[in-house]
Amino acid sequence: MATQIPSTTFEEFEGQEVQQERLLEKKMLLSPAMRYVLRRIGLYLITLWGSITASFIFIRLIPGDPIRAMVAQMQLQGGYNTISTSQSMSDFYEKQFGLNGNLLQQYLHYMNRVLLHLDFGPSLLSYPNPAMDLVKRGLPWTMALVGTSLVISWILGVVVGALVGWARKSRWADTINNISLGLSHIPAYFVAVVLLFIFAYNFPIFPANSAYDASIKPGWSFAFLWSVIQHMALPVIATVLVFAASWLNGTRALVIQILGEDYLTFASAKGLKNRQILLGYVMKNAWLPQISALALSLGAIINGNVLVEQLFRYPGVGQLLVMSTQQKDVNTMMAIVTILIVMTLTANLIVDLLLPLFDPRISYSGK
Amino acid sequence: MKAFIGIWKMSMKFRIGFTMLAILILLGVFHRLLIRWLLGDIDPLEIGTGGGIFLDPSRDHLLGTDRYGRDMVGLLLSGLPITLEVAALAGVISTALGAIIGFVAGYNGGRLGDTILFTITDMFLVIPTLPLILILAAYAKGLGVIELSLVLSVFSWPFAARVIRSQVLSLRERPYVELSRMTNLSAWEIIWQDIFPNMLPYLGIGLAQASIGAAFALVGLTVLGLAPSGILDLGTLINNANQWGVLSLGKWWLFVAPMGILTLLFMGVALINQGLEDFYNPRLRGMS
């Protein structure tokens, strides 16, 4: 996708590269498919490293010293205060939180801890519990919310979008298109507020906050699952409305482009029924490109989800992020940011690796 | 100007979007006058100036008052210009940044430079950046409008860079650019004389997308109550409404009024964007 545009200024260096590639191909050291996979995984590792390092630097640049604030708080409660004890306490906690040494030392220590032990250090929000534990508690809720909204909105958007594109001249298609154009340009949070007011306060059909009814014991019981679904309904519907609208617009545009292709004229000249053309030709060409767009949209949907979770007081990582930001809990912030980045980049990697298997138009050679 | 009239005549979307945005900008520019005219000579942010807390809409207070007894219309009018300023500033900064990166990557980056810059652009587009903005803005207390715009533009330049790079890639293959290249014009001359004038509409599209991105991020920040303390924008009003639980009090307009204005802003810019795209790139009609 990135570098397919032929360049006219063919520098020497590029010529060499092409020659080397040809040489490799000749020797059959690696099949083109294998090379594509390796290159994609290499790119994945580089972007992963780059984004984690960038966020590490961003977060460490935050002014203020949460450890000293904590120690001062503890001393206030403990009721004694000497300079040497306060210094040694600070040192102890700084070491515990991985905040001692200069930025490079901290970075190496951090990378080592995260890569080898999947450990982000203790959290400040509920010391001495590891930050990772807090994230693990919130992640299932967020993934359920984001995953459900993503799947439903994608299917709804692509199917309705294809139909709207197919019937683009009819009045109902036009109406749906205009509504979705409007919906796709407002934050999911706004829709959530409107839904909340109507369906939770005015007509109390759905609960207004938290993830399940506190009176039900969590477990794999029917009552608990039903309560979870009820609590998920409003946030999911809000996110689905906005994101389905943007899928709808994208798919509609794709379908209208496809409708002008020669093979469709040929298909109808062959005497295929409209339904066959729609399902076998139009849909098939429309849903594949939308799969790679699906992975790309993950970041946006997670962004929106932070706000939606906050509104519904949903115990996911979005709310955890806001809490840890208010408390200057550096380790928990890092853990959340890193895990969200790993999730989105991995989803993109998987889609990019699998897509050529489904879509014959994309070849493994990447050329 | 000629182009503007052309788009205005052709695109209904552009007409509607431009009108919406123009009204908002006028309201923002003349907010002091309007406040004085509607509420008299008061500071709309001062506590208790509305005569009572959580008043229902009436003739004196068209949208009622909030928990601190401030008139809601006054609050909206003083919050709007801040949202507009940050969105516009961040949009301009990130378009400039995106233009530089888009030009460098697309025109004389070579294959390697283009790949590196485009990978970075892509990375910023793919990863969820709101968490990072949240963290950054929450700690840099005492940020003014300009600093906040700078922070936001760090994260919204990729929207502009992507649009501009793809156009540069296509423009540099045009025959007239080829001709200039053959007559040994330098890269900067070609960029400035041949490519840049043709890029203006795309810079406009990039600006629209970047300022929407920045406005989304700003509202995200302030809605969560994590904005710098000195900034009261429309998102702050939404956060207040959320904090006070006004929905359970039945005072939905405290939520809906700021959201409605923001929706107008988002839609207005999005419609202008669509109109520009339809006009300059009919092939891309309706694609995002």
Domain boundaries, chain B: 88-234
For helices A284-296 and A222-259, the axis angle rounded to 10 degrees is 120
Nearest by CB to residue B134, choosing from A201, A321, A348, is A321
**More confident of the two residues A16 and A288:** A288
Q: Taking CB atoms and an 8 Å limit, are B224 and A256 in contact across chains?
A: no
Residues of A in contact with B255 (CB under 8 A): 193, 197
Does residue A55 surpass a pLDDT of 50? yes
Tokens describing residue B3: 């182009």
- The yes-or-no verdict on residue B285 having pLDDT over 70 is no
- CB contacts of A253 in chain B (<8 Å) are 284-288
pLDDT at residue A326, as a whole number = 80
* pLDDT, mean of residues B147-167: 82
Q: Judge: B131–A336 Cβ closer than 8 Å, yes or no.
A: yes
Q: What number is the average pLDDT over the span A32-42?
A: 84
The per-residue pLDDT for A5 is 39
Mean pLDDT, to the nearest integer, of A12-20?
Answer: 53
**Is B26 in the A-facing interface, judged by CB distances under 8 Å?**
no
Closest residue in chain B to residue A60, using alpha carbons only: B136
The pTM for the full model equals 0.79
ipTM exceeds 0.85, yes or no: no
Alpha-carbon distance B56 to A232, whole Å?
Answer: 32
pLDDT digits (tens, 9 = 90+) for B67-91: 777 888 888 888 899 899 999 999 9
Residues of B in contact with A328 (CB under 8 A): 139
Window from A166-175, B165-174, B274-283 with minimum mean pLDDT: B274-283
pLDDT for B29 beyond 80: yes
Give A208's contacts in chain B (Cβ within 8 Å).
247-248
Contact partners, residue B156, CB within 8 Å, separation at least 6: B90, B91, B94, B210, B211, B213, B214, B217
Report chain B's mean pLDDT, rounded to a whole number. Answer: 81
| Residue B37 distance to chain A (closest CA, Å) | 30
Provide the pLDDT for residue A154.
93
Q: Give the pLDDT of residue B186.
A: 80
Find chain A residues with C-beta within 8 A of B212's C-beta. Answer: 185
Distance CA B235, CA B80 (A): 10
CA distance linking residue A155 with residue A17, whole number of Å: 42
Chain B: give the shortest CA distance to residue A350, in Å.
14
Residue A294 has pLDDT above 80, yes or no: yes
Average pLDDT over residues B261-284: 81
| Residues in chain A closer than 8 A to B131 (CB atoms) | 303, 306, 321, 333, 336-337, 340
Q: Which chain A residue has the Cα nearest residue B255?
A: A193
Instruction: Please report the pLDDT score of residue A188 as a whole number.
Output: 87
Tell me the pLDDT tens digit for each residue of A212-269: 777 777 777 888 888 888 888 899 999 999 999 989 988 888 888 888 778 888 888 8
- Residue with the larger pLDDT of the pair B98 and A103: B98
Percent of chain B with pLDDT over 70: 93
Determine contact: B247 vs chain A, CB below 8 A. yes
Chains A, B: CB contacts within 8 A come to 152
pLDDT at A367: 40
Cα-based angle A71, B221, A330 (whole degrees, multiple of 5) = 30
Work out the percent of chain A whose per-residue pLDDT is above 70: 83
Min Cα separation A113/chain B (Å): 21
- Amino acid residing at A206: F
Residues of A in contact with B285 (CB under 8 A): 253, 256
Is the pLDDT at A29 greater than 70? The verdict is: no
Q: Shortest Cα distance from A299 to chain B (angstroms)?
A: 4
DSSP A238-251: HHHHHHHHHHHHHH
pLDDT of residue A23: 57
Mean pLDDT, chain A, integer: 80
CATH superfamily name and code, B88-234: MetI-like (1.10.3720.10)
Structural domains in chain A, sorted by start: 66-96 (no CATH), 135-358 (1.10.3720.10)
Task: Indicate whether B287 pLDDT > 50.
Answer: no
Q: For A58, which residue in chain B has the nearest alpha carbon? A: B136
Q: In B, residues 175-214, which contact A (CB 8 Å cutoff)?
A: 178, 212
**B226 contacts A325? CB cut-off 8 A:** yes
Best mutation target, B127, B134, B247, to test chain A (most A CBs within 10 A): B127
* Highest-pLDDT range among B46-50, B193-197, B259-263: B259-263
Tell me if residue B65 falls in helix, strand or coil.
Answer: strand
Average of pLDDT values for B154-166? Answer: 81
Contact at CB, B139 and A63, closer than 8 angstroms: yes
Do residue B127 and residue A344 have CB atoms under 8 angstroms apart? yes
CB-CB neighbors (< 8 A) of A47 in chain B: 119, 122-123, 126
Q: Is B134 exposed, middle or buried (0-12, 13-18, 19+ CB in 10 A)?
A: buried
**Structure confidence at residue A9 (pLDDT):** 41
If one compares B171 and B84, the residue with the highest pLDDT of the two is: B84
pLDDT at B24 over 80: yes
> DSSP alpha helices (H): ranges in chain A?
12-27, 32-60, 66-78, 83-97, 103-117, 131-166, 171-183, 188-196, 222-259, 262-269, 274-276, 284-296, 298-312, 317-327, 330-358
In this prediction, residues B245-263 reach a mean pLDDT of: 85
Kindly identify which residue of chain B lies nearest to residue A198, measuring between CA atoms. Answer: B247
**Does B216 lie at the interface with A, CB-CB under 8 angstroms?**
yes
- Measured between CA atoms, the residue of chain A closest to residue B108 is A9
A7 inside 8 A of chain B by CB = yes
Q: What pLDDT is attached to residue B25? A: 92
* CA atoms of A244 and A183, how far apart (whole Å): 9
Q: What confidence category does residue A13 fall into, taking pLDDT thresholds of 50, 70 and 90?
A: very low
> Has residue B106 got a pLDDT over 70?
yes
Could you read off the pLDDT of A151-165 as tens digits, one per residue? 999 999 999 998 998
